[in-house]
Structure 1
Amino acid sequence: MNNGILYGPAVSRDRVISRFPKCYIPEACLQFKDQFHVQVKYACQERQTRNVGLKMSKVVMVGDLYVGKTCLINRFCKNVFDRDYKATIGVDFEIERFEIAGTPYNLQIWDTAGQEKFKCIASAYYRGAEAIIIAFDLADIRTLEHTKQWLEDALKENEQGLSTIFLVGSKKDLLSQAEYERTEADAIKIATEMQAEYWAVSSKTGENVREFFFRVAALTFEASLLKELEKKDFRSARIGEGSTIRMDKTTAESSGNGTNSNTSCC
């Protein structure tokens, strides 16, 4: 505990992100860069000597039944692959702790059921998502065709719009290179239409799983912080308490009248 702010256990070393993670392929990339936005870097640097609350973003994974949503989440969060598949009933979630650009950050990953009978339940949990991951099975082209509908359903519950959209193909290990290349072309086309970033992964082998979720974490963290920084034209940033990032105008004004010579980030 630090002056009343509880951080919990230290973040694992393999959940520390200091540089912007790379995209999967340039043809379906949301942002080409290897550094965080200058405003984000400045806000994070300022908070290093001050009290900082914890930031959390909500990510929802949707897609057809049997495309491997739960397996993908479990591979990243628990480093396990369970061959005995059990369909998700309603919704479930995992919270993964990161340190991004020196800032504590939680990614709340919601796993939703792909069965039609649970759609009305699961859709209620789409609300407030800062990113949507639409999953499909690379070995079943029909699941790719359904991804646009899944995105449409998710957007209905998020009228304010989403920061980031991902299209992720699972079970890459089941395809030959030639088969994968044919499916990839179709997936990239759909990702472009969705304005989504495309990835291909294998929960069985772990291929690209860590890299994918690091990319999700970095993009949602940056987008969330920038959104808060741009809300009002304040002169000092506050990475706020609880699940919010705020900017404190009164702190900025006090620093200008001599009561506080340092610009405060919290």
Structure 2
Amino acid sequence: MRLSRSAVYTMLQTQAQKDRVIASLPPPFIRQASPHTHDDFHVEVRNAANGDHMLQAGLKISKMIVLGDVATGKTCLVNRFCHQVFDANYKATIGVDFEVERFDILGIPFNLQIWDTAGQERFKCIAASYYRGASAVMIVFDVTNIVTLAHTSQWLEEARQANADRLTPVVFLVGTKRDLMSEGAYDQIEKEARRVAQGLGAEYWAVSSKTGDNVEALFLRVASLTFDHSVMQELSSGSSDRRKQSTVKIGHRLEDTFEGHKKNKCASCGK
């Protein structure tokens, strides 16, 4: 995929919605269930946003992949945030679906690519070809189905294998369908989910796509931590082309983060 010059200009000129203008780091769902101990953006990131003209002139883009078992509510979660809708009629994702959401973070235009991947085994080969280049990984499980939680480590391992040559992405473990559980039943699930999240190095969240509870807060947190993590990596690299993959310069063309992959083709099976 390539973005033309006109597409880049359009992205730069598009204003983020007021609720997606972020000036401080949004809090985690549960502070004790997050591996990120800082309460705000790193000082280096704030300084770069205020004084790095190269950062200010470009359009930052990061990629997030949404993984998890079939019927865990991945698509409902993405649609609730991106389109403010909830459709109870389940339709399995074929391969991947793709959304781009615009934020302004510390005054910098930031676009989060959201890749909603298929959970069914027969589509896994297609979906896995899109894992590469992820700056953030969201692993989704159904709080009403403990088996889906048990499978989350496998999903993360597959994502890490696809990104073995890159720095570690930001990881989120998200329990969906919170509205379907009583407080007492959920408390037991949360205890186990937090244990799993700690083992994965992930930040834990529980949401309801039906009611919208915690969905917007989750994605604001995802965008902010991904931005913070991405800029810190770029600053630490110190190389002249450190923004080659995550920043678009006006007048240039962008190859997306899965460069080298042919659309809908899996290297392992050729389909």
Give yes or no for TM over 0.5.
Answer: yes
**Given that residues 53 and 239 in structure 1 are in contact (C-alpha distance below 8 angstroms), is that contact kept between their aligned partners in structure 2?**
no
What is the SS of the residue equivalent to 2:89? coil
Pairing 1:54–2:47 present: no
- 2:247 equivalent in structure 1: 244
- Of structures 1 and 2, the one scoring higher in RCO (CA 8 A, sep 6+) is 2
- 2:123 equivalent in structure 1: 118
**Cα deviation, residue 49, structure 1:** 11
Question: Which residue of 28, 39, 46 corresponds with 2:44?
Answer: 39
Deviations 1:162-196 (A, max 9, x none): 22111000000000000110000000010011011
**Cα deviation, residue 242, structure 1:** 7.7
- 2:196 equivalent in structure 1: 190
How many pairs does the alignment contain?
A: 241
Inter-CA distance 48–145: structure 2 relative to 1 (3 Å threshold):
same
Distance 1:59 1:190 in 2: 20
Distance 2:103 2:130 in 1: 23
Inter-CA distance 207–94: structure 2 relative to 1 (3 Å threshold):
same
Distance 2:202 2:64 in 1: 14
Q: Partner letter of residue 113 of structure 1?
A: A
- 1:92 equivalent in structure 2: 97
Question: Which residue of 214, 217, 220 corresponds with 1:214?
Answer: 220
What is the SS of the residue equivalent to 1:125? coil
TM-score (norm 1): 0.85
**Given that residues 54 and 241 in structure 1 are in contact (C-alpha distance below 8 angstroms), is that contact kept between their aligned partners in structure 2?**
no
**Cα deviation, residue 52, structure 1:** 1.1
Larger Rg: 1
What is the SS of the residue equivalent to 2:66? strand
**Cα deviation, residue 240, structure 1:** 5.4
**Cα deviation, residue 83, structure 1:** 1.1
**Cα deviation, residue 145, structure 1:** 0.7
Distance 1:241 1:188 in 2: 36
Q: Partner letter of residue 158 of structure 1?
A: N
**Given that residues 58 and 107 in structure 1 are in contact (C-alpha distance below 8 angstroms), is that contact kept between their aligned partners in structure 2?**
yes
Q: Tell me, which stretches of 5 or more residues in structure 2 are unaligned?
A: 250-271
Pairing 1:169–2:175 present: yes
Distance 1:185 1:50 in 2: 41
TM-score (norm 2): 0.83
Question: Which residue of 148, 172, 180 corresponds with 2:186?
Answer: 180
**Cα deviation, residue 48, structure 1:** 7.4
Q: Partner letter of residue 194 of structure 1?
A: L
Inter-CA distance 242–154: structure 2 relative to 1 (3 Å threshold):
closer
- 1:229 equivalent in structure 2: 235
What is the SS of the residue equivalent to 1:230? helix
RMSD (Å) for aligned C-alpha atoms: 2.3
Distance 1:50 1:195 in 2: 29
**Cα deviation, residue 241, structure 1:** 7.6
What is the SS of the residue equivalent to 2:13? coil
Percent identical: 50
**Which deviates more, 151-160 or 103-112?**
151-160
Q: Partner letter of residue 204 of structure 2?
A: Y
Structure 1 moving runs of 4+ over 2 Å: 47-51, 160-163, 238-246
Distance 2:223 2:55 in 1: 23
Question: Which residue of 19, 25, 31 corresponds with 1:26?
Answer: 31
- 1:154 equivalent in structure 2: 159
Distance 1:242 1:194 in 2: 26
**Cα deviation, residue 38, structure 1:** 0.6
**Given that residues 171 and 203 in structure 2 are in contact (C-alpha distance below 8 angstroms), is that contact kept between their aligned partners in structure 1?**
yes
Distance 1:76 1:25 in 2: 20
**Cα deviation, residue 5, structure 1:** 5.5
Q: Partner letter of residue 233 of structure 2?
A: K
**Given that residues 96 and 108 in structure 1 are in contact (C-alpha distance below 8 angstroms), is that contact kept between their aligned partners in structure 2?**
yes
Deviations 1:45-78 (A, max 9, x none): 1157996110000000000000000000000010
